[in-house]
Structure 1
Amino acid sequence: MKAVHRIYLLALCLALLAPFAHAAGLADKVQEHTLKNGMKLLMVERHTSPTVAAWIRFKVGSADERSDERGLAHLLEHMLFKGTKTLGTTDYAAEKPLLDKIEQTAQLLMLEKAKREKGDQAKINQLKKELDSLEKDAEKYVVKEEFAQIYARNGGSGYNAFTSKDGTTYLINMPANKMELWAAIESDRMKNAVLREFYTERDVVMEERRRSYDTEPEGELWENFLATAFVAHPFGQPTIGWMSDIENLSRNKAETFLHKYYAPNNAIVAVVGDIDPQRIITLVEKYFGVIAPGTPVGPVAVEEPRQRGEKRIEVLADAEPQLMIGFHKPTLPAADDYVFDVIDMLLADGRTSRLYKKMVVEKQLVTDVSSFTAPGSRYPNLFVIAATPRAPHTVQEVESAIYEELERLKKEPVTERELQQILNKLEFEESRQMLSNGGLARNLTEYEATAGTWRYLIEHRQRVAAVTPADVARVAQKYLVRENRTIGVITKQEVAK
């Protein structure tokens, strides 16, 4: 072998081994600090570039909403970009009386509309007119996207947020020398958020719902699939809320939810990158330490009753057929959840997986097939298999083929070679996710919130490595059964000629 080739091979090996070395040493690299008000700070010092990923995860999501609050967590995700008493406004003292009048008018409008056919249409029209006028008056005080503008001017990138069943996260990548600006902005948002343009933004969310769910067959299937699978637990309700839920959300209700839960004791902050941890602690204590804690997010008390028979949901649409099959399962850190991680990768992770080889390559029954856990992780959830039939094959053919593969799991032991391949892929994927500052920050906040500790990242592969062929067969026999499954399909609707 030529010297240059040996050098190249050595460099390649070192590059491939670097992520695994990082994963192995994560326990020593994560530094923790908890403020007196309960906010949890996780830090990882990495000097590969002069940048920092800063993620704030609030442990409140759509699963924590009451029936009259559905959609609030998602709407608040939008609203918390609107500013504070000092940002997003030219004159808050002059703006506030208008915001109060807007709320009074909107409450009266919602009250009258709630009477349905008994409502006074003339009164409704007049209140709508008043609300539109007040909102136009309030617009003159609004500074659009001021958070985003300040971050952009100071080198920030990737400024975003997302809401799930489990929580709400705000994220930004910043130059390392701008972390005090981040602390000032985010602490101000936590203390002094103003839900301006509330009803305008509520209309935006309603349009989002129409576009992504009400007129989108795949979205409609997913919502109805979850609502069918979960009859009691809030995992069955859409994160965005049903349309009538959104229509009845008020600013007062949103502010109550905000002040109750979006507080330090429900927040996990991860700061990863070119940092001095002690300086970050000082900054966080200075800006966030003075904020009072809110109400701890309590556990959802309701438990989904055991399913005792197959459920089916069909969506008729002018769209190609789709199939979803979901099985109720436990969540992390239950031992069987790790077995499902193995089953997931065995069945549908990549071109070498069982379902892909059998259904895409050999039988050509489907154009794609996947599996995943949904819709959240804090409570027992679903193991879902999704597939798109390839014409002229039918949903029924695809469903039968999937059940054949599930029966194999119950009867034929998984080979040691398959288990080792899964571990290799898992180690590579987990390490790849931690290469970026943002990927590591996301994992730290995600598992601290859902598993109760970020150390799940370290323990996960060890627990998966302990899964045996007998475990796979036992779990398949226990959970992947007819009485525990929910099936959702899109059936192509024939257009009348």
Structure 2
Amino acid sequence: MRKRIPSDGRWIGSIPLIAATFFMLILLVFSSQADAFDPTTGVHKTILPNGIRVLVMERPISPTVSLYIRHRAGAVDDLTSRTGAAHLLEHMMFKGTTTIGTVDYQAEESLRRRISEARSTLKRVLEREGDESSEAKELAEKIDRLEEEKRSLIVSNEIDRLYRERGGVGLNASTGYELTTYMVNLPANALELWARIEVDRLMNPVFREFFSERDVVIEERRQVVDSRTERQLRELFLGTAFIAHPYGRPILGWSDDIARLDIDYLTRFFHSLYRPANMVIAVVGDVTNSEVLSLINNYFGALEPSPADDLLTRSATIEPPQRGERRAVLTSSANPRLIMGFKKPTAPAREDYIFDIIENILTGGRSSRLYRSLVIEKELAGDVFAVNGSPGILYENLFMVEAEPLDGVSLADLESAILDEFERLKQTPVSRRELQKAKNGIRADLYRMLDSNSGIASVLSYFEATLGDYGYLSTYLDHIDSIEADDIQSAAAEYFVKKNRTAALLEREETP
């Protein structure tokens, strides 16, 4: 469990070597306590009448509390022509409410209606007369004046200010393929402030500055993806691996799709997918279960269950079986890079546990197989890492390896060396010592993830929201401990085969 929990679709790197060594020492010294470790001990789960699932862990180590709200709404819910909606909605949820982020909401709303009417009129005029007509220019100037007047009524970033003034840290949000998450850490005595703010923005959201924020997201895509070839390669890789399933679409969305998103569609998306039945709340810190439930019932209990929009009910197209290798090439002046992946069952299938161990064996530290072979011994790569379970957990996913060759090393040689290590897993059983080392590494990583209120709240809410049961964690290490060398050999032989392989190569473009 080194990179199990995605936040925004990016692949997370390995834990620092010093941290891993520290936790390994803990395991060696306190092995008897480790054997009895159950990360779900002390978790209280309650389902409210409206369907919200609440997880509470009392952890009075410091007078603080970590709070996570996860919605089962993500990029897999974007329609084909409306990619990026889930991510843009995440941005808009910070724009305030009818009482937060405004000087005078009634005046602001009146201006919003006038602007909307003027935009509709301008659209008709542009279609009829073009943008050079005097009427079109007058309407554009009128819209600019109204927008300026409306901006004078807006208080930007007020949600952030309210939290900071009460000692809040780590206020953030993320959109993944399957979830959108909102989190913050607060002094325990500010719990009610959190409830008031979060319920207000669920009951009375106002999507202020929509067009400018939409432009911000388009610019974000330009900076994060269009200007970074490694991110373009990852998009190409996923689009090649998943030709039907929405895992093949980018979380940020395509620029043209983002530009077509409007407030009406985003409002529809919000009401359909941010429903109470799609919500999981995790509260971990210096609280009691009774006080948390009383507070959450008083505030979140007022959220009414709403029916799903038929058009936006999650029903992702199942990826058809892959019957041959898929390859894609991106040319650029950037350093060459290689991504290789194999489809496999997702959690909680037994194969998923096996691939967690394979991930650790291949790239779990400097002594792991791929790092030692490619980086240290053969000097083929400057960087290599593996990820099990990319890019999501709800559907069949990928075991993938990404590597960057050193100068003078061909992608073909690098790919061949990686495939050699896969063949080695098929042909030769992993030694008992190496297998135990991988299991210990996984255990250490899980401990690291659960060493803070925020880490616990994140992990608990993630598995409750995706797999429907945070209790997955309670037996996770037992399943890991049950894996034997022949399990690894069998899984490698079944899934590390050419017809199940997808590869994306970033090749250096030839100069004329």
Report the TM-score, using the length of structure 2 for normalisation.
0.89
Q: Of 309, 320, 341, which residue of structure 1 is paired with 2:356?
A: 341
Cα drift, residue 347 of structure 1: 0.9
Match of 1:228 among 240, 243, 255: 240
* Structure 1 residue 100: Cα displacement: 2.9
Question: What is the distance in 1 between the residues matched to 2:93 and 2:212?
Answer: 14
Tell me: CA distance 1:272–1:60, structure 2 relative to 1, closer, same or farther (3 Å).
same
- Give CA deviations for 1:48-67 in whole Å, capped at 9, x if unaligned: 10000001001111101211
Q: What is the 5 A alignment of 1:49-64? A: 49-64=62-77
Query: SS of the counterpart of 2:41?
Result: helix
> What's the CA shift for 1:108?
6.8
- Confirm or deny that 1:398 pairs with 2:414: yes
CA distance in 2, matches of 1:363, 1:125: 66
What's 1:367 paired with?
382
Q: Could you say which residue in structure 1 is the equivalent of 2:96?
A: 83
Residue 312 of structure 1: how far off its partner (Å): 1.4
Partner of 1:151: 163
Q: CA deviation at 1:448?
A: 0.7
Show the 5 A alignment for 1:233-382.
Answer: 233-295=245-307, 298-372=313-387, 373-382=389-398
Aligned Cα root-mean-square deviation (Å): 2.4
Contact in 2 for aligned 1:107/1:250 (Cα 8 Å) = no
Question: Given that residues 52 and 175 in structure 1 are in contact (C-alpha distance below 8 angstroms), is that contact kept between their aligned partners in structure 2?
Answer: yes
| 2:14 match | none
* Deviation per residue, 1:374-393 (Å, 9 max, x gap): 11111111111000001111
Does 1:423 pair with 2:439? yes
Q: 1:178-237: CA deviations, max 9, x gaps?
A: 101111111111111110101110000000111111122111111111111111101101
Change over 3 Å in CA distance of 1:108–1:272 after alignment to 2: farther
- 2:56 pairs with 29, 32, 43, which one? 43
How many residue pairs are counted as aligned between the two chains? 482
The equivalent residue for 2:199 is 187
Tell me what 1:66 maps to: 79
**Alignment check: 8 A CA contact 2:53 2:280 kept:** yes
**8 Å CA contact 2:125, 2:136 repeated in 1:** no
Residue 21 of structure 1 deviates from its aligned partner by 5.8
Name the counterpart of 2:146: 134
Q: Which moved more, 1:341-350 or 1:154-163?
A: 341-350
Kept in 1, the 8 Å contact 2:344–2:397? The answer is yes
- 8 Å contact 2:76–2:316 — kept in the other structure? no
For 1:426, the aligned partner's letter is I
Q: What's the CA shift string for 1:297-335, capped at 9, x where partnerless?
A: 854341101111211111111200011001111111112
8 Å CA contact 2:101, 2:154 repeated in 1: yes
* Aligned mates of 2:35, 2:296 — CA distance in 1: 26
Letter of the 2:315 counterpart: V
Question: Counterparts of 1:33 and 1:134 in 2: how far apart (Å)?
Answer: 47
Hey, what's the Cα distance between the residues in 2 that align with 1:225 and 1:324?
7
Partner Cα distance (2:151, 2:167) in 1: 28
Please say if residues 70 and 180 of structure 2, whose CA atoms lie closer than 8 Å, have aligned partners that are also in contact. yes
| Residue matched to 2:464 | 448
Comparing 42-51 with 462-471, greater Cα deviation is found at 462-471
CA distance in 2, matches of 1:481, 1:398: 17
Given the alignment of the two structures, is residue 218 of structure 1 paired with residue 234 of structure 2, yes or no?
no
Assess, with a 3 A threshold, how the Cα gap between structure 1 residues 262 and 24 changes in structure 2: closer, same or farther. same
CA-to-partner distance for each residue in 1:43-98, whole Å, 9 max, x for gaps? Answer: 11111100000010011111012113310110011110000000011111111122
Which residue in 2 is equivalent to 1:203?
215
Change (3 A) 1:473 1:132: farther
Q: Which amino acid aligns with 1:374?
A: S
Identify which range, 26-35 or 267-276, moves more after superposition: 26-35
Contact 1:347-1:354 within 8 A present in 2 as well: yes
Equivalent residue, structure 1, for 2:7:
none
- Kept in 2, the 8 Å contact 1:263–1:293? The answer is yes
SS of alignment partner, residue 41 of structure 1: strand
Identity value in percent: 41
Tell whether 2:108 aligns with 1:95: yes
Distance 1:110 1:394, change over 3 A: farther
Q: Work out the CA distance in 2 between the residues paired with 1:245 and 1:120.
A: 23
| Residue identity matched to 1:72 | A
Cα pair 1:162 1:169 within 8 Å, conserved: yes
- C-alpha deviation, 1:369, in angstroms: 0.4
Change (3 A) 1:282 1:363: same
Q: TM-score, normalised by structure 1?
A: 0.92
Q: Which amino acid aligns with 1:208?
A: E
Work out the CA distance in 2 between the residues paired with 1:307 and 1:223.
19
- 1:324 alignment partner AA: I
Q: Quick one: structure 1 residues 104 and 472, their matched pair in 2 at CA, closer, same or farther if it must change by over 3 Å? A: farther
How big is the shift at 1:14? 10
Helix, strand or coil: the match of 1:28?
Answer: coil
Q: Deviations over 1:422-462 (max 9, x none)?
A: 11111111012111000000001111111221111121111
Q: Give structure 1 stretches of 5+ with no counterpart.
A: 1-11
Deviation at 1:110, TM superposition (A): 7.5
Matched to 1:424, the amino acid is N
Which position in structure 1 is the counterpart of 2:12? none
SS at match of 2:329: strand
Which SS does the other structure have where 1:27 is aligned?
coil
The one-letter code of the counterpart of 1:89 is T
What is the aligned partner in structure 2 of residue 489 from structure 1? 505
Q: Tell me whether 1:414 sits opposite 2:427 in the alignment.
A: no
